[in-house]
């Protein structure tokens, strides 16, 4: 029997419960079904090169949209996957209105991940900001998945795509955008 990690909570599964897969056979499309109006899934992919940004968090939503708008408009439903091809920068979705959120996020990262000669890092071949940049990149991650609805990225009103540059000396960053859907 499985035990629960939360004290006093009942286990989710016990020896008497089993998880089973349920197969739902495909429904043949009729003139009134949604399946009759779908098209063949399609893919599009583009690598965007972003100009160098200074250290910190930067709103890049409009730059990404400008680069993919023609392809994006061809999807009524799907997913956009963004992947930054670097280990010292990251992507995240967060506040798109108040610049202070980006500044405060950078302040937080700098407090959580120490830098300089007193930092405990062994990897210093590329400079004192490199290992902290790798850690910060891992904290936020290198990829995002965003739903596509009616040719647009379906994000909340106050959400935007951020590029977080974690190095002191900025370089161009490449982001691969892959679109999939119908």
The architecture that CATH gives domain 40-181 is Sandwich (2.60)
Token pair 């940004």 is at which residue? Answer: 53
Per residue in 72-113, pLDDT (tens digit) is 999 999 999 999 999 999 999 999 999 999 999 999 999 999
CA-CA-CA-CA dihedral for 51, 166, 142, 148, to nearest 10: -50
* 176 Rama sector, left if φ>0, alpha if ψ -120 to 50, beta otherwise: beta
- Closest of 160, 142, 51 to residue 99, by C-alpha: 160
> Token match 């739903």: residue?
147
At 109-119, the pLDDT tens digits run: 999 999 988 89
Q: For the chain, give every domain's residue range.
A: 40-181
H or E stretch covering 143: strand 143-149
CA-wise closest residue to 46 among 82, 77, 78, 79: 82
CA dist., res. 116 & res. 110, Å (int): 11
Per-residue pLDDT of the chain (182 residues; tens, 9 = 90+): 444 444 444 444 445 545 454 444 544 555 554 554 557 999 999 999 999 999 999 999 999 999 999 999 999 999 999 999 999 999 999 999 999 999 999 999 999 999 988 899 999 889 999 999 999 999 999 999 999 999 999 999 999 999 999 999 999 999 999 999 99
Question: DSSP code of 37?
Answer: G
Instruction: State what percent of residues in the chain have pLDDT above 70.
Output: 79
Give me the pLDDT at residue 117, please.
82
pLDDT value at position 144? 98
Q: To which residue do tokens 């956009």 refer?
A: 80
Q: Measured between alpha carbons, how far is 167 from 137 in angstroms, rounded to an integer?
A: 10
Hey, is 105 helix, strand or coil?
Answer: helix
């Amino acid at each position: 029997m499985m035990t629960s990690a939360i004290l006093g909570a009942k286990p989710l599964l016990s020896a008497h419960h089993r998880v089973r897969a349920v197969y739902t056979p495909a429904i043949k499309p009729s003139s009134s079904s949604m399946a009759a109006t779908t098209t063949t899934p399609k893919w599009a992919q583009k690598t965007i090169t972003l100009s160098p940004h200074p250290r910190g968090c930067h709103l890049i939503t409009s730059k990404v949209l400008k680069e993919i708008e023609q392809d994006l408009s061809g999807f009524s439903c799907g997913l956009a996957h963004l992947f930054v091809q670097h280990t010292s920068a990251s992507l995240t979705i967060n506040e798109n209105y108040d610049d202070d959120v980006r500044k405060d996020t950078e302040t937080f990262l700098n407090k959580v991940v120490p830098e300089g000669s007193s930092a405990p890092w062994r990897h210093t071949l590329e400079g004192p900001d490199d290992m902290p940049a790798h850690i910060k990149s891992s904290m936020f991650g290198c990829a995002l998945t965003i739903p596509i609805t009616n040719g647009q990225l379906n994000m909340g009103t106050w959400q935007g795509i951020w590029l977080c540059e974690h190095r002191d000396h900025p370089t161009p960053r490449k982001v691969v955008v892959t679109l999939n859907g119908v």
